[in-house]
Structure 1
Amino acid sequence: MIQLLRSTAFHFVLLGLCFTNLRAQETVPVDKRYTDEIKALANRPAVKAAFQTLMDLEPQTKQDLITLTETPAPPFKEEVKARKYAAMLKEAGVDSVWIDDVGNVIGKRKGRSGKRTVVVEAHLDTVFPEGTDVQVKQKGDTLYAPGVGDDTRGLVALLTVLKGLEKAKIETDADVWFVGAVGEEGLGDLRGVKHLFKTAGSKINSYIAVDGDGISEIVHRGLGSYRYRITFKGPGGHSYGAFGIVNPHSALGKAIHYFTDEADKFTRQGIKTTYSVSVIGGGTSVNAIPFESWMEIDMRSESPERLNGIDQLLQKAVQRALKEENGLKRSGPDLTVDIKKIGDRPSGKIEPTVPLVQRAMAVSTYLGAKPRLEVSSTNANTPISLGVPAITIGSGGTGGNVHSLKEWWLNDKGYLGLQNVLLVLLAEAGIK
């Protein structure tokens, strides 16, 4: 068993909800013009041919999923998987492929006019540390392995859609970038997509992230988050001989109490906002006053104002605890505190009436599903926060136990997910 926690820390969930994917459904009608548009698009002979190709490629798609899942991509160490994915994109038919400065894989398929650029993206990284056994095991029709669904299935969906476009000789009007992004999970803090928009944001006209299973969910609201590592530091000493000096654990306990007491009141009204004191650590021995005490905190909201509001409560609680602990000392230097922001995921919303959202809803409906508009924390957060039309959609099939060693994915009409990605992409990029 891989040891997922540091030896000096333990998980401590306190009075809050801490979800990787927090969902809130929204009911919005689909405009008939987009329903008609998708139906006409799907009935084109070339698109029908691409649909058939996606189904014919199912055995190869499965093998690609196994190959990529068994290529490790631990946090901040996605290089091996990036090189493998770049080679697979090149073989599948992109016009050019490169790996950028932070490790994103970008495969460009030129459009007829090239006046617009549509990005379709899945993330390379998983949550699992280096050394995790990522060998795929199959039981019946189900594949089991860490990362098999999140988000290796998304990467493979992009790859197969590219193959479908090539086989059917479909030419889009816009350039299409097939992207394998780094840093989506955990402390990666969306660094891949942030870099993409920092360096090439002006070229990107719409953004389609592929993450998760099924074909019903359409994320159009970015769940923002702030994450901090807060460390109280003191001189440390013998529990008896140095008694009377500042104690970092005492300050940490006060900070947690003051913060959660006020945060509880704050989060009982208004737009949903959550908080979690998730990891704490410090100390060396039962008979030693610790020299440091630290915690990691996660706070989330789709409202930038609410997120800033709960952040202010945290800052006040930390300073209050620092002042009180220093006021209790009988000797020695003051306690200090280091407040480090380790995560900053932007929030925002793309209105349901925006063509990209409407097209995704129309595609989901056309494929026999009931579209659901949701909020979540994904790579689409960055473009959404910048006002670029962006969504996150599923890659088909069903899965479970995400972020665990028992993660699984089942090819339950998985081809519908590929058709989902293809149709949304073609509707945005235009087809000759």
Structure 2
Amino acid sequence: MKRLIILLMALVLAGPLAGLVSVAALMNPGTNSCGSGSLVVGSIPDSFSAQTRDGRTIALDKRQLTHAGTIITVGARTVGVGRDGVLIALLAALTESTLRMLANTDAYPESGSYPNDGIGSDHDSLGLFQMRPVSGWGTVAELMDPQFQARAFFGGPSGPNAGSPRGLLDIAGWQLLDPDAAAQAVEVSAYPDRYQNYQPVADSILAALTRAQPASLAGTGPTAPETSRVVFPLPAGTYTNTDSFGWRTDPYTGARAFHAGSDLAAPADTPILAVADGVVSFAAQRGTYGGLITIEHTVDGERVTSYYAHMYDSGIHVAAGDTVAAGQHIGDVGSAGKSTGPHLHIEIHPGGAGNPAVNAVDWLTAHGATDLTQAQAASAGC
């Protein structure tokens, strides 16, 4: 009890100082309950490019990237948003305006007198998130302010609209939605399928503009030595490949959606094995992934990050910073997060976590992954 009282006093005393921080940091991706202190916006580059999910290259200039930095900073200062919420906001702004502050002089001639990056024409929509005054998002003056738009998108107790229209934090269970579905829940777009195409771009922007972030998400974590071998992530004979990488019908929503991993169905508590030698960069619960482990590897001279998802807390057997060997027992198959039954969702990100995933099964096969037996898997975890 004494320790609790001391902790509470420290938090009260620290509260007024929080407003003095010019650029807040984003939270650990495993939690979504407080402001972040582990991620800050660094230098804004003059230009940046990344590929959409369908292979189109998006080129952004410094002004667009500055707007992205504003979204990140506002999200970092907003209790409950975290890294996942910031990613959703970047995804929405990329889709709605390509990160441009758009005036709308047909609907609101006065909007052209505010700083802007061009003229839009979608109904009476304005700004980064194409918010509409007639829908109650704010006045023209307010919606031509990038910080106001970001605050309105995140919403919640500190948002400007008191939950109507709903911001991200006003949507119950948003953490369990796929990022594109969460963006659509806020935007209520007539074209909900657009958002998922921009997720690799949003991931890349977040990694590029920030520093000192969790290694599992930035692609800037510990460098692992070259792996000695590559193995399949479940013991031979224990799993069935039930859902492949690529476009599919989402089992929850019935909508067409992109699946960034491969799903290997297996009995609960089946050992999950590290696919290569490496260093654990994240090991905790994270939104739709449920229990998530990410490991940094070097394979054939290239940095690679592997994701292992849907474990329960009791099924995570490593911690961030641990060094693991190929075939080591790192966790147990579960069904936490957005899952319809026990399975391993595995993703492979060549170049690191800030880069798009590739087909995990194809990648493993191409790199000569070998099957381990149950007995070998058990001994590897010792």
With the shorter chain as reference, the TM-score category is: under 0.3
Larger relative contact order (Cα-Cα within 8 Å, sequence gap ≥ 6): 1
TM-score (norm 2): 0.24
**Which structure's CA Rg is the greater one?**
1
